[in-house]
């Protein structure tokens, strides 16, 4: 495996993104489970479990010492004691998954940000209150009964 370097391969950046991503996924879980009208205790429990699983799985990958597509310390050769076992193979698979997940999420968030900026510019040019276009699209997607 070729060693990766750069801004997104920094341990501090990966930890920060794992914590922020965990918070966002916990909030998304909270909203989805709350929408299903289940008891509030279960809503909170589901959010905490998702947060701990998300952050924990990324931390295991970061601190395992195994270079993967998700995070690489830049070693020339993997440690022989860490190579060719089921944990190493799983770390490689999970690393590839997180790498593709983060790439997809980055592209999605970039497109979403550009769309929001365009809608704000449209509101400003039309003389509407900022956010009217977003509110109109939101109401069209989720009409109130």
pLDDT of 80: 60
Nearest CA to 9 out of 88, 99, 101, 79 is that of 99
DSSP three-state, residue 19 = helix
pTM score above 0.75: no
pLDDT of 98: 86
The distance of Cα 139 from the centroid of its chain, to the nearest Å, equals: 26
Structure tokens that stand for 63 in this block: 């601190």
Q: Which residues of the chain have pLDDT under 50?
A: 1-3
17 vs 77: CA distance, rounded Å: 27
24 vs 79: CA distance, rounded Å: 34
Q: Which residues of 110-123 are buried (b: 16+ CB within 10 A; e: fewer)?
A: eeeeeeeeebbeeb
pLDDT of 1: 44
């Amino acid at each position: 495996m070729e060693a990766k370097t750069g801004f997104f391969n920094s341990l501090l950046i990966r930890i920060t993104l794992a914590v922020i991503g965990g918070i966002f996924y916990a909030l998304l879980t909270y909203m989805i489970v709350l929408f299903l009208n289940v008891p509030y205790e279960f809503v909170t429990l589901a959010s905490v479990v998702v947060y701990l699983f998300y952050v924990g799985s990324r931390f295991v990958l970061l601190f395992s010492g195994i270079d993967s597509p998700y995070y690489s310390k830049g070693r020339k050769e993997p440690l022989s004691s860490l190579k060719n076992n089921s944990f190493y193979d799983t770390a490689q698979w999970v690393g590839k998954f997180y790498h593709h997940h983060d790439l997809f999420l980055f592209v999605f968030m970039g497109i979403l940000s550009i769309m929001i900026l365009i809608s704000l510019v449209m509101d400003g040019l039309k003389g509407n209150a900022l956010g009217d276009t977003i509110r109109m699209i939101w109401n069209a997607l989720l009409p109130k009964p």
